Amino acid sequence: MNSLEFCNLPLEELNLVLKSRMNEHRYAHSLNVAERAVFLAEKYGADPEKAEFAGLVHDICKGIPNEEQLSIIENAGIRLDEDTLKSPALWHSVAGAVYCEHEIGVTDEDVLNAVRYHTSGRGNMSILEKVVYMADLTSAERNYPDAEYTRNLTDYSLDEGIAYGVRWIAGDLERRGFPKGKDTGALLEEYKNVEITFEERK
């Protein structure tokens, strides 16, 4: 990937920025998401170079304190809705998109949206957004109980992967007492009739 196609930093410098903003574990996760995003992009018809770049930068603001994430968002003039304000776990995605646009010069709207919505999802996602959303949930190091199943399911069908993933996320948010918010709610609604036909049992 030539990162200069997507931002104003060559890849070596972009990597230094990423490493300065996150610990080793998160940096390794970012590399894994980028790799997985390329695989899913090639399989499902998104631009693999954009997918790789978006995967690499998707958590560019996750390693900084929540208050800093919020001030990046507010300084960009973005007003979060009430549910998003109650869910600090979503802030790094919004802040990440702002950071990408303002600090490293990303102009591609699809890439910015893939970063912006990688945690919440939203209704009517582009293929690139879907690919990054699922690459983040199924990157190689993910080892939550259903990770292997979700990975295999996503390899079988991107839409079934999303249907399964968003239902799991919505259930988890409910269990933990967080609102699912309008974007996750819209994705859940859009996928409510998608049946899981994949035969491998969990």
Nearer to Fe ion, 21 or 194 (CB): 21
What are the CA-CA distances from residue 196 to residues 12, 90, 117, 163, 201 (Å)? 41, 27, 23, 8, 11
d(C-alpha 165, C-alpha 163), whole Å: 6
Beta carbon of residue 193, minimum distance to Fe ion (angstroms, whole number): 28
- We find the least distance from the C-beta atom of residue 61 to Fe ion, in angstroms, to be 9
Provide the token pair at 178: 């967080």
Write out the two tokens for 114: 């893939």
Binding residues (CB under 5 A) for Fe ion: these are 59, 136
User: In whole angstroms, what is the distance from residue 98 CA to residue 85 CA?
Assistant: 16
Cα separation, 161 vs 159, in Å, equals 5
Question: Closer CB to Fe ion, residue 3 or residue 139?
Answer: 139
- CB of 46 or CB of 95, closer to Fe ion: 95
Residue 115 CB, nearest distance to Fe ion (Å)? 9
Burial degree of 81 (CB within 10 A; 0-12, 13-18, 19+): exposed
Cα 175 from chain centroid (whole Å):
22
The CA-atom distances, in angstroms, between 102 and each of 76, 96, 160 are: 9, 10, 35
Nearer CB in complex with Fe ion: 108/136: 136
Please identify, using beta-carbon distances, which residue of 7 and 114 lies nearer to Fe ion: 114
CB of 127 to Fe ion, least distance (A): 19
Q: How far is the CB of 99 from Fe ion (least distance, A)?
A: 13
